[in-house]
Structure formats: C-alpha cells, structure tokens
A and B are shown apart, each in its own frame.
Chain A
Amino acid sequence: MPSYSRIVKDGLWDNNGVFGMILGMCPTMAMTTSATNGLGMGLATAAVMAASSLLVAMFRGYITQEVRIPVYILIVAAMVTLVDMTMNAYMHELYKVLGLFIPLIVSNCLPLARLEAFAAKEPVLPSLADGVFMGIGFTLALTAIGAVREIIGSGTLFADAHLLLGPSFRFLETQVLPHDTGVLVMILPPGGFLATGMLMAAKRLIDLKAGKEIKMAGAHAV
C-alpha cells in the first residue's frame, strides 16, 4: 500500500489525472471554457470519484473478474445519477450551472481507471484518499486550464463564480483584459487542446527546474 503522502503527491502533481495520466480528457476539454466551469466540473467529478472509490473498495471482495467492469461502471453511473438528482432537487441554482455536465462524468474514464488501478486492490481508507486526491488534482487541473482559456479567451477570470460558489465569492470575479478583448479561439475547441498542451509543458518545466527526472509520458512514441 502506498503511503498517504505518496497518494497526495500522485493525485495532486506527480501522477495528476490530466497532466500525468492523460485521462478524463473529454470533460477537460469540454468544461474548461472558464475557470468557474472547470472548478464546478472538477468538484462534481471529485465527489463521484471519492464515493465510488469508497464503494468499490468496500465491495471488491464480492465482485468477480468477469463482471468487474460492468459493476464498477454501474457504481459510477449510480453515483452520478444520485448526485444529479439530489442537486437538481436541493441545490437547484448550482444545478442550473453544472446540470449539463454531470451526466458526462459517467463517461469520464478517469474514475474507472482509478477504480481498476487503486480501489480494486487497496484497502478502504487509502482508496477513499486516492479518490479524493485524484479528484482534487483533477479539479485543480481543470481550474488551471479553465483559467488560462478564460483569461486569454475572454479577458476575465472566475466570471460568474458566484453562481457556483455563492454570492460571497463574487470577489473572485476579475476583469483581466479590457472589456470585450480576448483571443476568442482560446475558448473554442482549439484553445482547449492548446491550453492543455501548454500547461503540460509548463509542468514539465517546473519538474525540470525542481531537478526531477521528467516523466516523458508517451514520449517514446512521439
């Protein structure tokens, strides 16, 4: 079993879901047109990941190899549906912002990958920790990508944050560039890929500066 500090470091930085494992790319691209969107999607995903990791770690003794994948997917899908319905009913304002994104979490391959790689093998508490920190790492990555795209693309940062986090978070909303300036392409599909690629290179630069041996993820092939 990996140590908790390893779990935290892996989830947040070293083996980050987006920049390290390159998984969960679909919401990463689709939901990062603004930092707020990225944050919201990230939080919802983190919740689902934590819950499903916990459940899988608890039940894994009862699951056979052959039906493993359907059961894991079932668990994720059920958690997602649960979150979806509950939010719709009791956190409606938040749901109106996030509602569209939530069903998409099912098809995010990051939760499933973590279930297979971690929760299916490790005890309950570390699995929960892995789910939580992988989720937070994912949230951070999405927020960072969203921030880059939003600043360059629309000149704002955390616009509409109050819709997600409540009116007390209005202070986050900043106008970075003059009103209505922005390089539109950044909030269109090409900008998503571009921001991700750039941030990935930036992470590599930081690792390099920190003297870490860089992990050339897949670099052997490209």
Chain B
Amino acid sequence: MLFAVGSLAVMGATLGTILGVASRYLAVEENPLEQELQGLLPGSQCGQCGYVGCSQYAAALAKNEAAVTLCTPGGKAVAEALAKKLGVTADLSDHEEKGPEYAFIDESLCIGCLRCTQECSSDAIVGAPKQMHTVITDNCHGCSKCFKVCPTEAIKMCKVPVTLSSWHWEKPDSPHAHVH
C-alpha cells in the first residue's frame, strides 16, 4: 500500500515538476485579449467551432475574424458573453447594408467654407477658401462626415453608379428555386 501511494505520489510530483519547469521556460507571449476570450470559452477543446480548440477560436475572435456564435458547447450564454466582451452587436447593426456611396458637392450651393475639407480624413475634397469645392470620387470612401458638417447642405451622398464596365451579372437563382 505504501508502495502504491508512494509511486503515484512520486509520479505526480515528477510530472508536476516537469510541467512547472516547462511552463516557466517554455512560456510564450500571449495576447491578453485572447486569454480573456479563452477564459470565456468552455474549454472543452472540441473543435466544433471550426477551429482547432478554444485557443484558436479565441485567437480568431481577438483578430475579429470569427463570429461569436460558433461555440456549440458554450451555447447562447457564451455567445452573448463574447459579444459583450467584444462589443460586436452594436457594430453589426452599424455596418449593415448601405452599399458604397460617395459625396457629391452641388457647386451652386457651395460657399467654400472649408469645413468639409477639414473633416475629410482621406483628403478627398479639394478647393481653396471661398472657392467651389469638389470631391475626388476615387478618394472618397463615403463616410458622410462632410455631409454632416456642410452648413448649406451642398453635399449629397450618392450611390456609386453602375457603369457598363462595373456592371456584372447577378447570381442566378438556386436550381432548387426552379424545381420546387
């Protein structure tokens, strides 16, 4: 009996030492957000999220590459916790469907006040003080900041038009739409 207990204890102590030493000398820097996210995950390492284990999923989440709803064992609770941690629900509704836009300045209304130029983060609006301004469409990413500050409502946000060269075929209906 003593032998049994002893051998098990020795084994445990040895393995514990090895792991302890190893964890010290083999420590690898980790992203703290990743760690936190990983803490929220169930840790069952089952891979059902489509990633190889929780840490990979956490890494993907930290890099904002994965949806928060992928963990099967965690269920809804974990998804909510993750969403809260990453603050993604708000984001999602914000970025929903607008389609690309660009700003257009009605030159007859522009008074050359320069507010839009200051606001534009990509230098897409050119013009000197008190002169008409124009938007370089290619540089405009449609953030609509200029639209919001223009005192004369000279700025319109327009949908990027479809041209002969940018037009393409729409996705065809699924074959099943025809059959069933």
Contacts and interface: CB of A to CB of B under 8 A. Distances in A.
A71 to B, nearest CB: 9
Given A20-B75, A218-B72, A113 B44 contact: yes
A23 B73 contact: yes
Nearest to B41: A117
Contact of B20 (A66, A120, A215, A217): A66
Contact of A14 (B15, B69, B75): B75
Interface residues of A, number: 25
Given A22-B72, A116-B42, A217 B23 contact: no
Interface string B6-49: 00000010011001100100000000000000000011101011
Given A66-B20, A217-B72, A218-B48, A2 B77 contact: yes
B19 A67 contact: yes
Contacts of B15: 67, 70
Interface string A110-139: 001100110010000000000000000000
Contacts of A70: 12, 15-16, 19
Contacts of A117: 42-44, 73-74
Nearest to B15: A70
A74 B23 CA distance: 20
Nearest to A218: B48
Contact of A15 (B20, B43, B49, B73): B73
B48 A217 contact: yes
A220 interface: yes
B129 interface: no
Mostly, the A contact residues are loop
Interface of A: 2, 10, 14-15, 20-23, 64-67, 70, 74, 109, 112-113, 116-117, 120, 215, 217-218, 220-221
- Return the 10 tightest CB-CB contacts between A and B, nearest first: A113-B44, A117-B42, A116-B43, A21-B73, A217-B72, A66-B23, A221-B50, A218-B48, A15-B75, A66-B19
Interface of B: 12, 15-16, 19-20, 23, 42-44, 46, 48-50, 67, 69-70, 72-77
22 contacts: A2-B77, A14-B75, A20-B75, A22-B72, A22-B73, A23-B44, A64-B20, A65-B23, A66-B20, A66-B23, A67-B16, A67-B20, A70-B12, A70-B19, A74-B12, A113-B46, A116-B42, A117-B44, A120-B43, A218-B49, A220-B50, A221-B50
